[in-house]
Amino acid sequence: MERRMTQGVDKKPHRVSIQGYEGSFHQVAARQFFGKDVEVIPCATFREVVKIASSKQESDGGVMAIENSIAGSILPNYNLLQKSSLKITGELYLQIKQQLLVNPGVKAEDIREVHSHPMAIQQCLEYLDKYNWKLIETEDTALSAKLVHQHRSKHIAAIASKLAAELFQLEVLAPNIHTMKNNYTRFLVLQREGKSEPNPEADKASINFHTDHSRGSLARVLTRIADGGINLSKLQSFPIQGSDFKYSFHADMEFDSITQFDKVLAEIKPHTDSLKILGVYKKGKFI
């Protein structure tokens, strides 16, 4: 996948915050977008990802999961994004492929326990049910792989990414053991405003808005988006804190030209009480 942002004159690698440990799928996503030379800052929480991504002294931005084709939207991350000053400058859809990782030379009959994040274990139950292994839930797939490497155990395996196997010198005993093959996570690339140049190939935008909540107010906004020839690829509602069941809306809009988007934005703005552009960027590919 080609880079969508221009590196500085000094050609230093990007330094971005990610959720999870080295070897996580967030790092896989960061490498796919920025290249293998990207430096990642592992964070324990998504809140920390946004905080570090917002800091000029600490990073060039961040990479954050926003939704999954099976589990759905990660709602707290939409709120973090809306409250931050970060802009979406790119996205990608990463296929989640789970691998059974062991120390070199370990065979299936040696394994007694399999460690991984509970979601990863759930994704691989059809394969795991073939064996009488004890399943141990952990906080992170990549951390599980790291601990298998550190303990040098021949009786413990981990479920994690292929990248984790490479980073921690583990062998892939069984590749692609996940049951659902059509499992994609959408990742957003976040940067501070002014950090990157506008992308002339941009064909997607994310906005947040709320209306006056009068009858038909949302319908009027959606009608103008449709009449403008823009595809509304996602509409997510959120309760407005401190209000009595009033909602704001996150909208992902796909368009043919930035002129088309600007025209529709001007059309809908009079019908909103608040409107914030979260990012204008190139629609991501499925990888």
Single out the residue in 147, 162, 192 at which a domain terminates. Answer: 192
Residue 45: per-residue pLDDT: 94
64 and 187 inside one domain? yes
225 pLDDT above the threshold of 70 = yes
Q: What is the DSSP letter of 193?
A: T
Beta-ladder partners of 238: 248
CA dihedral 136, 45, 27, 146 (to 10 degrees): -40
User: Helix, strand or coil for residue 154?
Assistant: coil
Gap between the Cα atoms of 115 and 158, Å rounded: 5
124 pLDDT above the threshold of 90 = yes
Alpha helices in the chain (DSSP H): 25-34, 46-53, 75-83, 118-123, 125-128, 141-151, 162-167, 217-227, 258-268
pTM for the structure as a whole: 0.90
Domain containing residue 238: 204-281
162 pLDDT above the threshold of 70 = yes
Residue 10 lies in a domain: no
> Count of domains in the chain?
3
Pairing of strands 113-116, 134-137: parallel
> pLDDT tens, 192-214?
987 767 788 999 999 999 988 77
Give percent above pLDDT 90 in the chain. 82
Residue 223 lies in a domain: yes
> pLDDT tens, 29-42?
999 999 999 999 99
Gap between the Cα atoms of 279 and 139, Å rounded: 31
Cα dist. 166→22, 24, 70, 103 in Å?
11, 12, 27, 12
Residue 269: per-residue pLDDT: 94
Beta-ladder partners of 279: 206
| Mean pLDDT value across residues 90-111 | 97
39 and 139 inside one domain? no
160 and 108 inside one domain? yes
Gap between the Cα atoms of 26 and 32, Å rounded: 10
54 and 188 inside one domain? yes
Is residue 163 within 8 Å of residue 120, measured between CB atoms? no
For 12, residues 6+ apart whose C-beta sits below 8 A from its C-beta are none
Residue 80, domain CATH: 3.40.190.10
275 and 209 inside one domain? yes
Closest CA to 47 of 27, 13, 74: 74
Q: What is the DSSP letter of 70?
A: T
Give percent above pLDDT 70 in the chain. 96
What count of Cα atoms within 13 Å lies in the side-chain half-sphere of residue 188? 28
Beta-ladder partners of 57: none
> pLDDT tens, 2-31?
444 444 445 678 999 999 999 999 999 999
165 and 268 inside one domain? no
CA dihedral 208, 214, 216, 217 (to 10 degrees): -30
| Mean pLDDT value across residues 82-90 | 94
Pairing of strands 184-192, 231-239: unpaired
Residue 136 lies in a domain: yes
Say how far residue 59 (Cα) sits from the centre of its chain: 17
Residue 11: per-residue pLDDT: 67
121 and 150 inside one domain? yes
Residue 277 lies in a domain: yes
Residue 1 lies in a domain: no
Residue 124 lies in a domain: yes
User: Helix, strand or coil for residue 104?
Assistant: coil
Residue 6: per-residue pLDDT: 41
Quickly count: other Cβ atoms within 10 Å of residue 113's Cβ.
14
233 and 165 inside one domain? no
Residue 2: per-residue pLDDT: 41
Single out the residue in 159, 192, 225 at which a domain terminates. Answer: 192
Residue 238, domain CATH: 3.30.70.260
Residue 6 lies in a domain: no
160 and 276 inside one domain? no
Mean pLDDT over the full length of the chain:
92
Residue 238 lies in a domain: yes
